Amino acid sequence: MADKTLDQITAEGAVYFIFGATGDLARRKLFPALYSLYREGKLGERFAIVGLARRPRTAEQFRDDVYESIQEFCRYKPNEVQAWREFAERFTYHSLDIGNVDGFRELKATTEELEARYEIPGNRLFYLALAPELFGTVSRNLRDGGMLESGGWHRLVIEKPFGYDYPSAGSLNEEIRHVFREDEVFRIDHYLGKEMVQNIEVIRFANAFFEPLWNNNHIANVQITLAETVGVEERGAYYNKSGALRDMVQNHMLQMLTMIAMEPPSRLDPEDIRDEKVKVLRSLRGFSTPDEVRERVVRGQYTEGEQKGKPIKGYRNEDSVPADSATETFFAARLFVDNFRWAGVPFYVRTGKRLPVKSTEIVIEFKNVPNNVLFASKQQLQPNLLVIRVNPMEGIYIKFNAKKPGNDMTVQPVAMEFCQSCQVGINTPEAYERLIFDAGRGDSTYFTRWDELAAAWQLVDPIAAAWRESADDLTFYPGGAWGPQQAHGLLEEDGYFWWPVNGQDEDNVIWVSNTGK
Ligand SMILES: NC(=O)C1=CN([C@@H]2O[C@H](COP(=O)(O)OP(=O)(O)OC[C@H]3O[C@@H](n4cnc5c(N)ncnc54)[C@H](OP(=O)(O)O)[C@@H]3O)[C@@H](O)[C@H]2O)C=CC1
Ligand SMILES: O=C1O[C@H](COP(=O)(O)O)[C@@H](O)[C@H](O)[C@H]1O
């Protein structure tokens, strides 16, 4: 599986089915990812791609759409005529309504022709870029239409959101599992495909100097920020039902938290890693009353504001959003992992739309050194920080104290940075490339297993239930600001503050960086 060479993986070959091929995700992420994989030889020689949706498209029209999407969104441009032609030849479009099983029987015939033409041994990967309500029907019709009768493997890749709450996620899971085994289901959380999220394991487990300090004796708190400048764009109808809690916290935020908090797995096998992540999710302190939710969670919604000098409208004025919506566009919480390693260490998480910058960062704040004669009376020492920059900048920096050159013992913070994206630039593979490649080779490490999802929903559901009771605690923030004041209060109560992202507070810090900053 994961330890096969690239040649072995690509030699097997597969047909990739993109359900929802005329949709936004396919256009912005999936086609560009497939083209990059092709350009890097990661699809091998034996592959075909079938786009599926209801609207009629000729093969030519479809290839034109794909060309435009790649031109706009892919890190490789389709300017190399020969490469584009060879790739486009492997792309076909099949118009089909998910609800109609006969369409799947026709698809079977088309697929068998493609498999014969390109010598593909019956391996089939079904990517569902569809509304989740359709996942169960597709699974059933794939089976009933004979699409699972080939000799090779069959894998189902599904997009988020996986359910609306624990019961609905459970029903959805059952529907899918009537047809596919758990090891055939690849549930996407695209944050797990991000380079720096995957790097957390390496940073933690391949360095002698982090792991011994990685516990409540040395870490004061952990801060995870996922800030976006965008509003809800054209997704008001979806977002208004989902809100930040379901859109970002239940999945991306909790996944990052588990990577930070998990115990080292005994082997780097997908199941061992996922077992450790589940243990973290199960150790998260739940919310047993609505009061507890109010104490530890802040929800906010953006109002009119300004970004980069331009006015922006409030959430309630966005398209498809009701004028009295109580949906949160901002979420912050103080979470605890109640286990031996992390007892007493707050994990602060925050995410929101219409914040001042686009940035995802994880800050590990270490406890201060004990007061000592040398420094304490004279100056306030800053805590050591380890900062993992996930997105859009990728890298890591550590902040520590050093002597300012001169005669006295003045201490100044120094930041040593490794900026990965500055080095690799646009050639960093996109999350979707990695995830499609991993699904193609059957490596489920960076996909969410059902028990992870279930545990995440079980944490999130009581928060949603408390919010349903009353919207009194909904706070507001002007678009372009760092969320409501209450989110700062969460940390101030504990004697901390949110470290500014992107090193923005670092005027007094000396930077040593591979970017030459
Ligand atoms: N867009 C994004 O950035 C992200 C999307 N996602 C998830 O990905 C999934 C797809 O999202 P997105 O691309 O934005 O959605 P869109 O609404 O843009 O696309 C939906 C696709 O489904 C097809 N479709 C709808 N009904 C049927 C049917 N009965 N039979 C066959 N095809 C059908 C549509 O094509 P047609 O009308 O031609 O049938 C279209 O291609 C969703 O689960 C979403 O939550 C997750 C993260 C980010
Ligand atoms: O899943 C989602 O993620 C995006 C943010 O992803 P990023 O990779 O750009 O940080 C978010 O905008 C969207 O609402 C959500 O559905």
Yes or no: say if 275 and 302 are a contact pair by the CB < 8 Å rule. Answer: no
Report how far apart, in Å, the C-alpha atoms of 76 and of each of 7, 82, 83, 168 are.
22, 14, 11, 39
**Total residue count of the chain as it appears in this document:** 517
Average pLDDT of 102-113?
97
pLDDT over 90 (residue 155): yes
Average pLDDT of 109-135?
96
For the record, the structure tokens of 286 come out as: 């739940």
- For the Cβ of 391 lying below 6 angstroms from any atom of ligand 2, the answer is yes
Q: What is the ipTM of this complex?
A: 0.98
Q: Which residue has the tokens 């055939």?
A: 184
> Pick from 335, 389, 357, 333: which is nearest to 227 by CA?
357
CA 197 distance to own-chain centroid: 9
Looking at the chain, the whole-number percentage of residues with pLDDT higher than 90 is 83
| pLDDT for position 1 | 46
| pLDDT for position 8 | 63
Yes or no: say if 422 and 515 are a contact pair by the CB < 8 Å rule. Answer: yes
pLDDT over 60 (residue 111): yes
Q: pLDDT (tens digit, 9 = 90+) per residue, 248-298?
A: 999 999 999 999 999 999 988 899 999 999 999 999 999 999 999 999 999
Q: Is the pLDDT higher at 381 or at 387?
A: 387
301 C-alpha to center of ligand 2: Å? Answer: 17
Yes or no: say if 79 and 67 are a contact pair by the CB < 8 Å rule. Answer: no
pLDDT interval class at 487 (50, 70, 90): very high
| pLDDT for position 9 | 65
Minimum-distance ligand to the CA of 244? 2
For the record, the structure tokens of 263 come out as: 């115990």
205 C-alpha to center of ligand 2: Å? Answer: 28
Average pLDDT of 63-86?
92
Q: Which CATH number is associated with domain 14-159?
A: 3.40.50.720
pLDDT over 70 (residue 517): no
Yes or no: say if 475 and 36 are a contact pair by the CB < 8 Å rule. Answer: no
Yes or no: say if 486 and 295 are a contact pair by the CB < 8 Å rule. Answer: no
Average pLDDT of 363-380?
77
Pairing mode, if any, of strands 185-187 and 154-158?
parallel
Report how far apart, in Å, the C-alpha atoms of 391 and of each of 120, 160, 227, 449 are.
37, 20, 10, 24
| pLDDT for position 78 | 86
Residues belonging to the binding site are 20-27, 54, 97-98, 160, 190, 194, 228, 247, 353, 358
Average pLDDT of 365-384?
78
Of 223-227, 366-370, 507-511, least confident by mean pLDDT is: 507-511
List the domain boundaries for the chain.
14-159, 192-425+450-493
- For the Cβ of 247 lying below 6 angstroms from any atom of ligand 2, the answer is yes
- For the Cβ of 228 lying below 6 angstroms from any atom of ligand 2, the answer is yes
Helices 270-283 and 254-261 cross at an angle (nearest 10°) of 100
User: Which residue intervals of 245-398 are DSSP H helices?
Assistant: 254-261, 270-283, 290-296
CA 335 distance to own-chain centroid: 19
> Pick from 386, 244, 363, 217: which is nearest to 315 by CA?
244
Average pLDDT of 295-307?
97
Q: Which CATH number is associated with domain 192-425+450-493?
A: 3.30.360.10
> Pick from 204, 148, 136: which is nearest to 176 by CA?
136
Is 178 noted as a catalytic residue in this protein? no
Looking at the chain, the whole-number percentage of residues with pLDDT higher than 70 is 92
Yes or no: say if 143 and 180 are a contact pair by the CB < 8 Å rule. Answer: no
> Pick from 403, 395, 295, 300: which is nearest to 353 by CA?
300
pLDDT over 50 (residue 39): yes
Ligand 1 atom nearest residue 158's Cα:
43
* b/e sequence 154-169, b meaning 16+ C-beta within 10 Å: bbbbbbbbbbbebeeb
For residue 29, give every residue at least 6 positions away whose Cβ sits within 8 Å of its Cβ, in sequence order, or none.
Answer: 73, 190, 430, 432
3-class state of residue 264 by DSSP: coil
146 C-alpha to center of ligand 1: Å? Answer: 24
Distance CA 295, CA 424 (A): 43
pLDDT interval class at 6 (50, 70, 90): low
Q: What is the pLDDT of the chain when averaged over all its residues?
A: 93
For residue 352, give every residue at least 6 positions away whose Cβ sits within 8 Å of its Cβ, in sequence order, or none.
Answer: 227, 228, 244, 300, 302, 329, 330, 331, 477, 483
pLDDT over 80 (residue 396): yes
Of 198-202, 208-212, 391-395, 405-409, least confident by mean pLDDT is: 405-409
Share of the chain residues as helix, strand and coil, in percent rounded to the nearest 5: 40, 20, 35
pLDDT over 90 (residue 141): yes
Please tell me whether the overall predicted TM-score, pTM, comes out greater than 0.80 for this model. yes
27 C-alpha to center of ligand 2: Å? Answer: 15
Ligand 2 atom nearest residue 232's Cα:
14
Report how far apart, in Å, the C-alpha atoms of 184 and of each of 146, 252, 420, 456 are.
17, 22, 33, 21
- Contacts of residues 408-411 at CB distance under 8 Å and 24 or more positions apart, as own/partner, are 409/374, 409/375, 409/378, 410/379, 411/375, 411/379, 411/381
| pLDDT for position 422 | 78
Residue 265: DSSP 8-state:
P
